[in-house]
Amino acid sequence: MDKPLHSTVLVTGCTGHIGSWLVLRLLEKGYSVRAAVLDPEDKQDVQPLLGLAPSLAERLEIVKADLRVKGDFDKVAQGCDGVFHLACPTNFLVEDPQKDVIEPAVQGTLNVLNACVKSSSVKRVIHVSSAAAIRFSGKEVAEQVFDESCWTDVDFCIDNKIPGWPYFVGKTLGEKAAVEFAKEHNLDLVVVNPSIVHGPFLLSNIPNSVKDCLALITGELFKLPFLARMSYIHTDDLVRAFIFLYENPEASGRYICSAVDASITEVVNIISSRYPEFKIPTDLAYLGEPVIHYFDSSKLKRLGFQFNFTLEDMYHDAIKCCKEKGLL
């Protein structure tokens, strides 16, 4: 499925951290990009896209479409060769998780996929799920390895109300609904399950995932248990993986996309050795011993993809980006 230059692709969620970076890389590769946003007139929301180089922006079309409105993507999907579906509610602090996070994640995905089927032009869809749809089985065992056969236990998340559970449930049910829909309608769907995304960004504020990774620096110590054992992927490696899977005719099914598994001690060593100006806590014994786990990206690697960035690269690029934007 080698894509010719200037073929048109639709990107949802393009005003976010990952989506904006993906639009940039697609334009650089010669694609024409149809970027779906809630409000094209909201200059602040679309500024990362509007700020792209003029020579690239001539192949960028910003269109209005709402995941929550049935049929809203029917027109914007017409004429597109492919779709990268990234849009998903990410606000954890909501009054009604079912209504505000889970239902939009599932129904919004089905609205996009239904538009792809109606279009008759869409050849492949890259559905961006998450490691969150894999990780939370409720069974903590030592040296656990997560691969594409693993699924988050939705009932466990709901019953135990683990931090972030609406997002985990929304991503899991959204992915399952997408896979079932694609099977029923013979739609070429490839799923990507990235771990936490760290590195540079185009937004004016620090993206949530990067902010989580920088908790040792920003002083948000309540996030440190979350970082006790974490799996990471660099922003650029992730969007390259999206495009790689879109263009590779052999790609099928689910793909974990995670480059590094690391403890918070490793993160402390990276920051303290390279950035002594940051006074970070080093006595973290109170966090206890994390359960060791790994995300297995071997399926993606067997297809020929290679990760370019180390964990140190991720921290360096994120910190450099924050300093350049006056955010650190």
Which stretch of DSSP H or E encloses residue 295? strand 293-295
Q: Which residues pair with 125 in a beta bridge?
A: 83, 189
Q: CB count, 10 Å around CB of 205?
A: 11
Confidence of residue 115 (pLDDT cuts 50, 70, 90): very high
Q: Please check whether residue 3 lies inside any domain of the structure.
A: no
Q: Is residue 67 part of a domain?
A: yes
Taking the CA atoms of 58, 64, 67 and 71 in sequence, report the sign of the dihedral they define: negative
Q: Which residues are catalytic?
A: 171
| Residue 204 within any structural domain of the chain | yes
Helix H segments across the chain? 17-28, 43-50, 54-57, 74-77, 97, 103-119, 132-135, 154-160, 165-185, 208-213, 215-218, 224-227, 235-247, 264-274, 298-302, 311-324
Q: Are the CB atoms for 37 and 13 separated by under 8 Å?
A: no
pLDDT confidence of residue 51 = 79
Is residue 57 pLDDT above 70, yes or no? yes
Residue 314's pLDDT band (cuts 50, 70, 90): very high
Report how far residue 258's alpha carbon sits from residue 295's, in angstroms, rounded to the nearest whole number.
6
Domain presence at residue 291:
yes
What pLDDT score does 30 carry?
93
| Confidence (pLDDT) at 286 | 80
Q: Say if residue 186's pLDDT is above 60.
A: yes
| Longest Cα–Cα distance in the chain | 58
Q: What does the pLDDT read at residue 236?
A: 98
In this structure, of 40-44, 75-79, 158-162, 217-221, the range with the lowest mean pLDDT score is 40-44
More confident residue, 164 or 195: 195
Q: For residues 25 and 289, give the distance between their C-alpha atoms in angstroms, rounded to a whole number.
A: 39
290 token code pair:
């994390």
CATH number of domain containing 129: 3.40.50.720
Residue 139, pLDDT > 90, answer: no
Mean pLDDT, rounded, for 233-238: 98
Its pTM stands at 0.94
Distance, in Å, from the CA atom of 242 to the CA atom of 19, rounded to the nearest integer, reads 11
Three-state SS at 64: strand
> Total domain count for the chain?
1
Q: Is residue 31 part of a domain?
A: yes
58-79 pLDDT tens trace:
899 999 999 999 999 999 999 9
Rounded-to-integer distance, Cα 166 and Cα 196, Å:
17
Domain that holds residue 194: 8-324
State the pLDDT confidence band at 31, using cuts at 50, 70 and 90.
very high
